[in-house]
Amino acid sequence: NAGVMQNPRHLVRRRGQEARLRCSPMKGHSHVYWYRQLPEEGLKFMVYLQKENIIDESGMPKERFSAEFPKEGPSILRIQQVVRGDSAAYFCASSHGRAGYNEQFFGPGTRLTVL
């Protein structure tokens, strides 16, 4: 039973480019969460999605960031026109149900570096 998968593991972009981060949840999980971790800091919630729906995006910047979880395929976190401040580790987590009831399993993360 494969765990949460994320790709790419490392991503380098120049300022102004687009970054696309992918997350495949654990088998049987339909709830996906994205968190951002700056160096030597905690994880900050960005967005919570279920299949085809964004449930809570209150932690995600309103500009340049978007997320989706289509009926088929992985969840995508998209960052347009990246800036140096976007450099961070982005973790995806999945669960069988909502955060307060069910354990969240984390993927290995995508480490984004913006030059």
Partner 1 sequence: GENVEQHPSTLSVQEGDSAVIKCTYSDSASNYFPWYKQELGKRPQLIIDIRSNVGEKKDQRIAVTLNKTAKHFSLHITETQPEDSAVYFCAAAETSGSRLTFGEGTQLTVNP
CB of 34 to partner 1, least distance (A): 10
Between CA 101 and CA 18 the distance in angstroms is: 35
Structure tokens that stand for 82 in this block? 């990246």
Between CA 45 and CA 60 the distance in angstroms is: 8
| Candidate segments 16-24, 44-52, 63-71, 74-82, binder of partner 1 by CB under 8 A | 44-52
- Residue 26 interacting with partner 1 (CB under 8 A): no
Closer residue to partner 1 in complex, CB, 9/15: 9
Question: By CB under 8 A, what part of segment 78-97 binds partner 1?
Answer: 91
Which has the closest alpha carbon to 1: 33, 29, 35?
29
Closer residue to partner 1 in complex, CB, 76/89: 89
| Candidate segments 17-25, 48-56, 60-68, 73-81, binder of partner 1 by CB under 8 A | 48-56
Between CA 85 and CA 36 the distance in angstroms is: 12
| Candidate segments 21-29, 65-73, 74-82, 103-111, binder of partner 1 by CB under 8 A | 103-111
Which has the closest alpha carbon to 54: 35, 69, 73?
69
